A = this chain, B = another copy of it.
Amino acid sequence: MPNSIMPKRIFLAPEPRAVRDIFDQSDVERLRALGDVYIHEGGPVTDSLFDDKVANADIIMGQFDLPEARLKRIPSLRAVFNVEGNFLPNIDYDYCFRNSIRVLSTSPVFAEPVAEAALGMAIDVARGISKSDRQFRDGSEEYGLAANVDAFSLYRQDVGLIGLGDLGKAIVPLLRPFGCRIRAYDPWLPAQYVRSLGCESVSLDEVLKRSRLVIVVAGVTSQNQGFLGQQEFALMQKGSGLVLVSRAAVVDFDALLDFADRGHFRVATDVFPEEPLPASHRARRTRNLILCAHQAGALDAAIRQIGKLAVGDAELIARGLPPVLCKLAQPETVKLLRSKPIDKS
């Protein structure tokens, strides 16, 4: 049943990632089994390099510039893999869609580590783990019920998800054994789909009002920057918890700190408007706040999956089959996405 395979040409220029971080030896061997592999690191893809090594490629892995002028000169091109993790404006998506060139991202590798971190941050917000640790360090801890006056449990709790993309979908099964009632708001998904994941599809207001714990996993788009601000936070229950693991740009960060500081809710965030956070930033002194250093996704174990996802789908594409592991750029939405590229990873 396997389709016959013509040898392919693969051009690999993963900057700002390093080949050795994302591909292990077996990944590279699987690539080489598909055909000629050219690896470029340490500098931009110049025009002469392009002429020499990219123009005859079947598969490209990397996020260098691919405007229409360049794409037109790669007639054999079947797929472009972004191995950094976001769909960036580096490529002419429309040209690719018109010409059945798959544009893919290995971002699914981050779903599991971010979901795990989000659950850990959620339990911390609910049960006061890092707060207790902090109090022990300065000798102010209280014990047992006294330690738990503000605590709540996730078991059978009302939990809200803002966003039900890859990250949200990875969180749902982690909450399942707690028997949570999960309400979700995602304007890109129909109610029927949300229900098929075992969640209730509700409005943003409903998520905010009804949830004891809200987890924000919405990606940032041209349409939703700062959509969680003072007005939205005011809808949340007093004594509730908020976990932010997607992008800081979806919230009004100052309002978030205000609401935490005055004890309206307790917050854990993995992302910040500026990273590194300025030394004098008030977030460092804000009460009812747990700060994590953009470490939810950037786990070595996840980075090492990037190559495996790209190679797995490259093998399918080389055999004339549709990719199934990476995220596919969608004509309707890809140009709405507004994540910033990573710095170095």
Q: Quick check: is A33 within 8 A (CB to CB) of the other chain?
A: no
Per-residue interface assignment for chain A, residues 288 to 328, with 1 indicating a CB less than 8 Å from any chain B CB and 0 otherwise: 00111111001111110000110011011100111011000
Q: Within residues 113 to 129 of chain A, which ones have a CB less than 8 A from any CB in chain B? A: 113, 116-117, 119-121, 123-124, 126-129
Q: Which of B126, B147, B321 contacts A298 (CB 8 A)?
A: B147
Q: Quick check: is A330 within 8 A (CB to CB) of the other chain?
A: yes
In angstroms, Cα B128 to Cα A293, docked, is 10
* A155-B116 in contact (CB<8A): yes
A189 partner residues in chain B, CB cutoff 8 A: 324
A224 to chain B, nearest CB (A): 5
Per-residue interface assignment for chain A, residues 187 to 199, with 1 indicating a CB less than 8 Å from any chain B CB and 0 otherwise: 1111111000000
Q: Quick check: is A66 within 8 A (CB to CB) of the other chain?
A: no
**Contact of A322 with B332 at beta-carbon distance under 8 Å, contacts A124-B120, A127-B117 already known:** yes
**Contact of A295 with B123 at beta-carbon distance under 8 Å, contacts A324-B190, A332-B320 already known:** no
Q: Which of B100, B291, B320 contacts A132 (CB 8 A)?
A: B291
Per-residue interface assignment for chain A, residues 68 to 86, with 1 indicating a CB less than 8 Å from any chain B CB and 0 otherwise: 0000000000000000000
Q: Quick check: is A232 within 8 A (CB to CB) of the other chain?
A: no
A3 partner residues in chain B, CB cutoff 8 A: 223
Q: Quick check: is A178 within 8 A (CB to CB) of the other chain?
A: yes
Q: Within residues 271 to 286 of chain A, which ones have a CB less than 8 A from any CB in chain B? A: 275-277, 279, 283-285
Q: Quick check: is A177 within 8 A (CB to CB) of the other chain?
A: yes
Number of copies: 4
A188 partner residues in chain B, CB cutoff 8 A: 316, 321-322
**Contact of A190 with B316 at beta-carbon distance under 8 Å, contacts A133-B292, A147-B294, A177-B174 already known:** yes
A153 partner residues in chain B, CB cutoff 8 A: 112-113, 116, 299, 301-302
In angstroms, Cα B132 to Cα A275, docked, is 14
Closest to A3 in B: B223
* A321-B295 in contact (CB<8A): no
In angstroms, Cα B299 to Cα A145, docked, is 6
A192 partner residues in chain B, CB cutoff 8 A: 308-309, 312, 325
Interface stretch of the complex, out of A53-61, A135-143, A253-261: A135-143
In angstroms, Cα B147 to Cα A145, docked, is 33
Q: Which of B100, B284, B309 contacts A139 (CB 8 A)?
A: B284
In angstroms, Cα B216 to Cα A51, docked, is 48
**Contact of A117 with B97 at beta-carbon distance under 8 Å, contacts A144-B298, A345-B144 already known:** no
* B279-A116 in contact (CB<8A): no
Q: Quick check: is A151 within 8 A (CB to CB) of the other chain?
A: yes
Q: Quick check: is A64 within 8 A (CB to CB) of the other chain?
A: no
* B123-A120 in contact (CB<8A): yes
Q: Which of B137, B142, B147, B293 contacts A147 (CB 8 A)?
A: B293
* B331-A100 in contact (CB<8A): yes
Closest 7 CB pairs of A and B: A120-B123, A130-B130, A136-B291, A144-B298, A147-B295, A190-B312, A322-B330
CB pairs A–B below 8 angstroms (10 shown):
A97-B100, A116-B155, A134-B137, A136-B277, A141-B291, A142-B293, A144-B294, A152-B301, A188-B321, A190-B315
